[in-house]
Amino acid sequence: MALSESWIAGKFGITPQDLESYLGEALSRGGDYADLYFEYQATSLISLDEGIVKSASQGVSLGVGVRVIAGERTGYAYSDDLSPERIRKAARVAACIAAGPAQVEKVPLLEGAKRDLYPVVTAPTETAFAERVELVSARTGRRGPTTGASFRCRLPMPTTSATC
């Protein structure tokens, strides 16, 4: 399909000269190959429950990906803004990544000071199930079985607080 027939080119006013400019920017750092991938995706979701609309949403995802290949290195950048300035910036970023240094300086890993901010006195699996149920019941105010109700409770063990 020719660019002039493309829906995205018409919608966003992208001309062949614009594409040449973007690709030129992408190859400005000595890349061997560059391409642009334009994306536009519209979604619409409707959820029904027994014939009644329970939720509805819609959205649009759009952007452009720029890929630059220089030898064995590949640079990629993405912009969710299709303005010429942002596409050029993505092209420059992809070019810089592809032209980046072939060697990475390795730095030795230094172990930091050890800090035990959250000591575990007793692991949750070592606490009896009945004790855990009692602790959750005490924090939520629910004792014994409940009917028709369900809840989730995360219990950070071995402390005496719960998040429900």
> What pLDDT is recorded for position 103?
67
**Per-residue pLDDT tens digits for 16-59:** 999 999 999 999 999 999 999 999 888 888 887 877 878 888 88
Where do the CATH 3.30.2290.10 domains begin and end in the chain? 3-99
Distance CA 76, CA 95 (A): 8
- Does 3-99 carry CATH code 3.30.450.40? no
Distance CA 107, CA 55 (A): 52
**Per-residue pLDDT tens digits for 148-162:** 444 455 545 444 434
Report which of 82, 124, 78, 113 is spatially closest to residue 97, judged by C-alpha positions.
Answer: 78
What is the per-residue burial (b if ≥16 Cβ within 10 Å, else e) of 124-150? eeeeeeeebeebbeeeeeeeeeeeeee
Residue with tokens 């980046």: 100
Q: Strand locations in 30-148, DSSP E?
A: 33-49, 52-70, 73-79
> What pLDDT is recorded for position 29?
93
Distance CA 95, CA 116 (A): 44
**Per-residue pLDDT tens digits for 87-101:** 999 999 999 999 987
- Could you tell me which residues are beta bridge partners of residue 154? 163
pLDDT at 10 over 90: no
